[in-house]
Structure 1
Amino acid sequence: MPAHAFRNALPADAARCYEIEITAYEGDEAATLAKIATRIAQYPQGFLILEADDHVVGFINCGCAHDVVMSDEAFKELVGHAPEAPNVVIMSVVVDPAHQGNGYSTVLMNEFVRRMKALGKQTIHLMCKEQHVALYERMGYTYVRPSPSDHGGMAWHEMVMAL
């Protein structure tokens, strides 16, 4: 694995993160540039960037909630986000397809979990497609249920990790 580093996102990262987002997610699944910029502006400590050889190659972003409703589309724009809330809701976990297969998603998730624990968070929630359920289980998540969300016209599965 090439030399890598972690940092919180800056407003200037929005365009590069959007490039990665649209290569990794299909159609309406991808967050817009405006949503990514909003997430960076409103909760940079929940927007973790992975750099390899001084290039942004992946990221995780999230919001926090007292009551988690995974199918709440407005939350993806951080409507209802409460930075002090104990429950983390991941919105994107993305590695540039050109850099996939290097173990980056695992190191990115491990660092994200470490940082959320350090912030005193209690749970991390995410939704994924069926083919990623086993990957997240290996990372320590527990399967919850098929999601009522049809975000992007896709079937999603809810998962949770207790910290």
Structure 2
Amino acid sequence: MDISDSTILHIRTARTDPAGQAQDAAMAAALEAICFPPEQAASPTTIAERMASYADHFWLIEDEGGTLLALVNGLCTNERDLSDEMYEDASMYDPDGAWQMIFGVATAPAAQGQGLATRLLHTVIETTRTHGRQGLVLTCLDDLVPFYARLGFVDEGLSASNHGSMPWHQMRLTLA
């Protein structure tokens, strides 16, 4: 899939009406399943629970036909560091939290390499700034450290996270 300049893309947050949210959760879970190994991908149940708790913290890019091409999701909290518990416990969400945690950044394989994740992350960063939060925190594998660094995230070294039994770098973008 080649995203040309004439391709109409829509950036939005997840829907809050039950039918729309169920559809968004199913699409998000399917995208997670193809973009991450099983031990790292959020389950359909986890995605649905997250979306029910904080739909406005699921940013989606879809084409004009409604196909989900990329997503970013995560909760807000006053905790400074991303912990493994946050991935599974949607109740840790604090709508007034100082930090926007990012759990997942995924782009459909056919749409990769065309700047969609970068475009979506710029939206997330600006939304986080608009809400007056201190910044964003994510964890990533070694090979993605340069990608996030180009967006202004600073590598804080290996995280305490053991999500999916992998070593993760914690990266932070401080806004305030």
Question: Structure 1 length normalisation: TM-score?
Answer: 0.94
2:78 maps to 1:78: no
Instruction: Report the alpha carbon displacement of residue 42 of structure 1 after superposing the two structures with TM.
Output: 0.6
How do residues 2-41 of structure 1 correspond to structure 2 at under 5 angstroms? 2-10=7-15, 11=21, 12-41=23-52
Shift of 1:69: 3.3
Q: Which amino acid aligns with 1:154?
A: M
Query: Alpha-carbon deviation of 1:74?
Result: 2.3
| CA root-mean-square deviation | 1.2
Instruction: Render the CA deviation track for 1:20-73: whole Å, top value 9, x for unaligned.
Output: 101111121000101111111111111111112332111111101112332x22
* Preserved CA contact (<8 Å) 1:68 1:89: no
- Comparing 132-141 with 61-70, which one deviates more in the overlay? 61-70
Q: Which runs of 4+ in 1 moved over 3 A?
A: none
On the 8 A contact 2:153/2:173 being kept in 1, the answer is yes
- Counterpart check, 1:142 vs 2:154: yes
SS in structure 1 at match of 2:74 = strand
AA paired with 1:87?
W
What secondary structure, in the 3-state scheme, does the structure 2 residue paired with 1:42 have? helix
CA contact (8 A) 2:84 2:162 kept: no
- Give the AA of the match of 2:110: A
Q: Please tell me whether the aligned partners of residues 53 and 91 of structure 2 are also in contact (alpha carbons under 8 angstroms).
A: no
The counterpart of 1:87, out of the listed 99, 103, 106, is 99
**Which of the residues 81, 104, 127 maps onto 2:139?**
127
The offset of 1:98, in angstroms, is 1.5
Distance in 2 (CA, whole Å) between partners of 1:123 and 1:112 is: 10
- Which structure has the larger Rg? 2
Alpha-carbon separation, structure 2, partners of 1:123 and 1:78? 20
> What SS is found at the alignment partner of 1:143?
strand
- Match for residue 63 of structure 1? 75
- TM-score under structure 2 length normalisation: 0.87
8 Å CA contact retained: 1:49, 1:58: yes
Distance 2:128 2:39 in 1: 28
Which residue of structure 1 lines up, in the alignment, with residue 18 of structure 2?
A: none
Instruction: State the Cα deviation string for residues 76-122 of structure 1 (Å, max 9, x = none).
Output: 13232211111111011111112101111110101111111111111
